Structure 1
């Protein structure tokens, strides 16, 4: 049972939400993601991908604050999704002191740089904004452990794809986890760049 092997803080939160039994996708994916492998996770809507992303990120960071640089980055399609995911993370993070930050085009880039510099554990951002932050040296990736991509279908758009390729060149070794409903050939190409030796989980 994947939930039984998660951090006690996470288990406590799951119990309070009455989430007891993992979905089929969660049973398959959580142990593989916890192993540290690069993973393509493909599953239909409602299979528990977002919850898996949150749980495995919190697990990777051991639910504790360390340093000031982001240790997990999550790439999302747009501002609405960034804020939605921020709220979802904040709900789980109530049981610990992890610092979650949502970054998007509607915030002034210099303000974002300053706020991230103060200290962030989990950075949620859109491709365009994250790439701009990287170009301005606004994100320190020296402590980065995990890079996840939420609902990755948006990466078939050339601008988002190019932004991610640029971002990946600035990231040293870390674990990549990509979530999507289907495996698009354009997404599979990442295997040749930053998702080496990746596993594919399908549910």
Structure 2
């Protein structure tokens, strides 16, 4: 897929980072993600999954900030991954006014409530902290257009699977994306809930 069809500000960021075109795997997955379909993206590390997700997310949000409620939620395993992915997103949002926020367990939850309240577009969150903040009415999910789980292989640990399942029940008209190195029974079980019509891209 050519980058010509992407939002001009996103295209500019990609060019600034030295990306001229998508790689073969991204060419396969980006049309499905851009089209708004639910998807399992199963491929080994280094295949370009994360960059594809970042491109699809920024394009979906039209590369611009809008009101206060998050419109994209990316779920990751821990604080380290939240901060790493935030940094990755910021490489591609620096030509836009999109706000990217990392929400993780090792931080004062009252401060997080305040920082989210003042407006975020993309929230990168650990499952437990996202769930806790939601049930404390600290984050509004009514405007979420995309929920993605990055490197979902961890979901069998720390009750992450159940946190995601409960949160998915609060989302309407949302695109769901699950990314993992390989399909496993935990993430496959989401087919019985919100991933029933998901495409399998591998």
Where on the TM-score scale, by shorter chain, does this alignment land: which range? over 0.9
Pairs within 5 Å for 1:49-128: 49-128=49-128
Any conservation in 2 of the 1:141–1:172 contact (CA below 8 Å)?
no
**Would the aligned equivalents of 1:151 and 1:180 in 2 still touch at CA under 8 Å?**
yes
How far apart in 2 are the matches of 1:189 and 1:4? 37
- Superposition TM-score, scaled by structure 2 size: 0.96
Aligned length: 202
Are 1:5 and 2:5 matched, yes or no? yes
Report the Cα distance in structure 2 between the residues aligned to 1:38 and 1:14, rounded to whole angstroms.
24
- Corresponding position: 1:23 with 2:29: no
Tell whether the 8 Å contact from 1:75 to 1:149 is kept in structure 2 after alignment: yes
Q: Tell me the secondary structure at the aligned position of residue 176 of structure 2.
A: strand
Aligned residues of 1:70 and 1:120 also touching (Cα < 8 A) = yes
For residue 185 of structure 2, what is the aligned residue in structure 1?
185
Given that 2:2 and 2:21 are in contact with CA atoms closer than 8 Å, whether structure 1 keeps it comes out as: no
CA RMSD between the two structures: 1.1
**Secondary structure of 2:29 counterpart:** helix
Give me the TM-score of the superposition, normalised by structure 1.
Answer: 0.96
**Any unmatched runs of 5+ in structure 2?**
none
Compute the displacement of 1:170 (Å). Answer: 2.1
Alignment deviations for residues 135-183 of structure 1 (CA, whole Å, 9 cap, x no partner)? 1111111111000111010112251111111221222230001111111
Moved over 6 A (4+): none
Distance 2:43 2:3 in 1: 19
Alignment gaps of 5+ in structure 1: none
Preserved CA contact (<8 Å) 1:39 1:200: yes
* Other-structure match for 1:175: 175
Cα distance in 2, alignment partners of residues 135 and 84 from structure 1: 26
